[in-house]
Amino acid sequence: MVVTVLVHLLLAQAPPEYMKRRSALVEAECANSVGGGIRLTDQEQAVDKLLRAARADTPSALASQSFFRTASTIRQSTLFQMLQPLPKASALHLHFDSLLESRWFVNVTYEEHCLACWPAGSGGPVAFRFAADSGRGLPGCASGWQRVSDLRRMSSDVPAFDEQIYRSLSLCTADGAPFPSVDAAWNKFNAAFPMLAGLLMYEPVFRKYVGAALDTFVDDGLQRVELRAGLSGNVTYTLDQSGLPASHAVSLWTHAAAARNLSLGFIFSSYRGLSPEAIAHELADARSLAAHSPPGTIIGFDLVGQEDAGRPLLEFAPVLLRQPEPRLPYVFHAGETLGNGNATDQNVLDALLLGARRIGHGYSVRSHPTLRGTAKTQGVALEVNLISNQVLGLVDDLHNHPLALFLADDLPVVLSSDDPGLWGAAGVTYDWVLALLVSSEACGGLAMLKQLARNSIDHALLAEVEKAALLAAWTSRWERYIDEFLAAWQAEPHGRH
């Protein structure tokens, strides 16, 4: 605040001609940034003014500190209240198995037939499974499978017992400190998923999860979600350990989404640590599932997992280039690395050459102006996930995230939240709040947010006629949001009246 006042004092002392040239430069910079081509209506300008005031009153440290420490403050902020109902159109980078906060899964362990593999002295569980019989058909467990209800009952401190479960399923650190390195964060990330899978993939739990996850999207003003999902072979299982095929899981999602008037598509995701031969089989499975699913259900193909630890895209190029027509679009994770010029960093280059429609993360293109220009010219969107990049160790202070550069260069950016449940979030609003906080104070406002929402329609994996319908519905929602925003906030700019 002191700095802002000082700047205004200095500007007031500058010669008029200097100020005229200065203003022209600022206007030119904003005109060339994301949202620079949007002209706000009088009502939208009033909303923009209130948003900017709320941003000015929001501590910038919320974007500088670990999200583990700031999540609750962000959730209670005026900006969050203002932006949660904002029509965001689409979320295009979400993994289907990490959408709800990990405490939701702690509650799941109270359900009947929940078993744990919990070796003595391990400090926590190493696996979960639902089963009627603790021995028949279960994965191996050296200490023997035990009912969680029995373990909880024998515990001398139930809250502490549940906290151990929570810590095993969440990336949130007990003291809120960030992980010491990218590899340390990924090690914890990779350890959590097998335990989550034992709980989530039990079919009755999966049904509840699907509905709860979709409800968070509705609450966050979304109309469409595109989910990355491992859909090779069986996905869910029953109490007798029978596996249910991917088509069953896909059907649960699509029917539940339709009931909520949400558009939904799946990006078939394979592990980038597999051999090229295995990826060829996975791609064939993806194409087969797409062919046997309703049109628009299986919409793309991706390779997932820690890039630094996996194979580079270049190794898969011969297989990926051979995909026959009609092709499943590629939407590759690429550039989720601190490397510069190494094989992992060059995944972005190969993603562009392989014809990717979007690039997941694209963090490392900050160092590659030619690749940024190519992405812009070819209309390849960058799927930015701010909090994910911080939690997984790419950046500590989000003010230093390349999103600010991407926005200033008017790159085709879309915002999403990746695996929000693992770091104590849900939906996408936290990422939108932080995106506003780290954007240019001069150029980042309602016009930028409006363009980001439009980008998520333009770059959705939909036919043009479907994009037009989504845009029409979004426009109606946007106009209603502007009216409702002013009714709620105009009289009391820092709190509802």
29 counts as catalytic: no
Strand, helix or coil at 213? helix
Distance, CA of 147 to CA of 157 (rounded, Å):
17
Which residues pair with residue 243 across a beta bridge?
237
Sorted by sequence, the CB contacts under 8 Å of residue 26 that are 6+ apart come out as: 442
**Residue from 203, 226, 336, 383 carrying the catalytic annotation:** 336
Ranges assigned E (strand) in 8-122: 89-95, 114-117
The CA distance from 230 to 158, in Å, is 34
Give the C-alpha separation, 113 to 75, whole Å.
Answer: 35
Q: Locate 425 and state its tokens.
A: 């979030």
C-alpha distances in angstroms, 105 versus 71, 193, 309, 493?
19, 12, 28, 37
**234-249 b/e with 16+ CB inside 10 Å = b?**
ebbbeeeeeebebeeb
User: From its phi and psi, is residue 30 left (phi > 0), alpha (psi between -120 and 50) or beta?
Assistant: alpha
Q: Which residue, among 434, 377, 441, has the nearest Cα to 403 in the 3D structure?
A: 434
| Active site annotation includes 325 | no
Amino acid at 13: Q
467 three-class SS: helix
Closest C-alpha to 129, from 143, 142, 139, 119: 139
74: phi > 0 → left, psi -120 to 50 → alpha, else beta; which? alpha
User: Which amino acid belongs to residue 334?
Assistant: A
DSSP-derived secondary structure for 65-95: S-HHHHHHHHHHSHHHHHHTTS--EEEEEEE
Contact yes or no for 41/454 (Cβ under 8 A): no
Catalytic residue among 333, 361, 368, 459: 361
Annotated catalytic residues are: 336, 361
